[in-house]
Amino acid sequence: MKEYFVYMLANKYNNVLYTGVTNNIRKRVYEHKMKILKGFTSQYNCNKLVWYEQFEDINVAISREKQLKNWKRAWKNALIEINNPNWNDLAEKWFLKSFPAV
């Protein structure tokens, strides 16, 4: 079964958000953290995974990503705070010290 993820990253001040979609969330978050992917997230230091949802259908995931990108910031904040009220990095323990291959 294929897995797809829609996710949101924040910077350390939680005042910038990035929404994306991927089929390998660990690899994609690693790429953001290491600034391998040049662009918005590296420019604004969005490397803290604060929210994600999992899907089995890529079309549903892409549709959800587009929906979230059109949401008001207050709605996104509320969605994050349902399960992550302190805006913790949900991927913090994925890459302990040595950053193993993903």
Q: What per-residue confidence (pLDDT) applies to 76?
A: 98
Domain ranges of the chain: 4-83
pLDDT band per the 50, 70, 90 thresholds, residue 77 = very high
Note the helical H segments in the chain: 25-33, 40-43, 58-69, 73-83
Mean pLDDT value across residues 84-98 = 88
pTM: 0.91
Q: Give the DSSP H or E segment for 5.
A: strand 4-10
Residue 100 has pLDDT above 60, yes or no: no
In the CATH scheme, what architecture does the domain 4-83 have?
3-Layer(aba) Sandwich (3.40)
